[in-house]
Amino acid sequence: MIGTDIQHAKNLLEAGELVAIPTETVYGLAANAYNDKAVSEIFRVKNRPSFDPLIVHVGRWEQVAEFVVEIPEQAQHLAARFMPGPLTLLLPKNERLSDIVTAGSPQVAVRMPNHYLTQQLLHLLSFPLAAPSANPFGYISPTTARHVADQLDEQVPYILDGGACTIGIESTILGFENGTPTIYRKGGLTIEMIEDAIGPVAVKPYSTSQPQAPGMLQSHYAPRIPLKIGAIGELLSAFEPNRTGVLAFRRKVPVVPAANQVVLSKNGDFAEAARNLFAGMRYLDGLDLDVILAEPVPEMGLGRAINDRLRRAAAQEG
């Protein structure tokens, strides 16, 4: 069921049930982070491998002290500047949080979502929420309540409808490796903004197993129709135009039917392109096509995160 009843969502979560929640990035599939049975249900419903950790969501930064050992000074600075917002911090956890949440890692991923409904919900709860994206594991992340319902409706007691996500790609994940600020996942907060706040950061490549943080797997965010990245004009020579989908940055191509194409941002705006990315992929994946061709965007700002999602949507794990 889809609705906007925060009290109903609260009651379900307190009873150990799952609730899909809106955030500014993507919709999450949430459970009481202190309830191991409820957290295990997230993995079951998503068919998510147990080695892939979850993000813990809080309504107040002070709440983090309940389940972490320490907070580095740079983490405090980033939290003060960018939370609530599309930033997740990796911090050393204490025994309050189960290893189920962190997939056995001694670190927990923490963030404060910047969405008015979910903020209200979190402030009503006496516990944080563990929540990955609310979609079958590996598939395109949901950016509307309808996306969640289309995939998980019968398995989720309630979907809290907060409208379309305003950012549209997952949060940036940052941790501290031997004291060095390190980006584990590119996302809705740009590297430039982080470096402006704390100075240079390292950037981790993605991982294929035992990821150190959520969202690091090489093949992820993928449509069911094969997706290929490159110069669309060159790629098209190998495919039948009428059976091809195009995910373009700024303009459509003339030989492919217009209904088979999605333009992420006619004005070349990265924020608009990010908001439209997953919805565009879902639209094309719903058509009767043989392949989806996607062009990379300029590798700067949010473009880095968009290209990261495209590369992983195109990756085929062996």
CATH code, domain carrying 282: 3.40.50.11030
Domain stops at, among 203, 236, 271: 203
**Residue 315 corresponds to which amino acid?**
A
Q: Are residues 77 and 163 in the same domain?
A: yes
Classify residue 214: in a domain, yes or no. no
Give yes or no: residues 265 and 164 share one domain: no
- What is the average pLDDT score of the chain? 93
Q: Tens digit of pLDDT for each residue in 247-258?
A: 999 999 999 999
- Residue 179 belongs to a domain: yes
Task: To the nearest 10°, report the CA torsion of 125, 126, 127, 132.
Answer: 0
Average pLDDT over residues 224-229: 95
3-class SS shares of the chain: helix, strand, coil, % to 5: 35, 20, 45
The whole-angstrom separation of Cα 178 and Cα 209 is 22
Does residue 213 sit within a domain?
no
Kindly state the helix (H) or strand (E) to which residue 172 belongs, with its residue range: strand 172-177
pLDDT at 98 over 70: yes
Q: Are residues 28 and 62 in the same domain?
A: yes
The residue range of the domain holding 236 is 227-314
**Exposure letters 65-92 (e unless 16+ CB within 10 A, then b):** eebbeebeebbeebbeebbbbbbbbbbe
**What is residue 215's predicted lDDT score, i.e. its pLDDT?**
63
User: What pLDDT, in 10s, does the model give residues 55-73?
Assistant: 999 999 999 999 999 999 9
> 170 and 22, same structural domain?
yes
pLDDT at position 137 is 87
Q: Is the pLDDT of residue 201 over 80?
A: yes
Q: Note the pLDDT tens digit of each residue in 140-177.
A: 999 999 999 999 988 999 999 999 999 999 999 999 98
Judged by DSSP in three states, 88 sits in strand
Q: What is the pLDDT of residue 212?
A: 66
Residue 178 sits in the same domain as residue 29: yes
Residue 215, domain member (yes or no): no
Residue 157 belongs to a domain with what CATH number?
A: 3.90.870.10
Q: Are residues 113 and 199 in the same domain?
A: yes
* 156 and 252 belong to one structural domain: no
Task: Judge if 111 and 257 occupy the same domain.
Answer: no
- pLDDT value, residue 4: 97
Residue 151 CB burial class (10 angstroms; 0-12, 13-18, ≥19) = middle
Q: Is residue 109 part of a domain?
A: yes
Q: Which residue blocks in 20-102 are alpha helix, DSSP H? A: 36-46, 73-82, 99-102
Mean pLDDT of the region 289-297: 97
Please count the structural domains in the chain: 2
Among candidate residues 187, 203, 219, the one where a domain is terminated = 203
Task: State yes or no: pLDDT of 317 exceeds 50.
Answer: no
If asked whether residues 84 and 35 sit together in one domain, one would say yes
Do 194 and 254 lie in one domain? The reply is: no
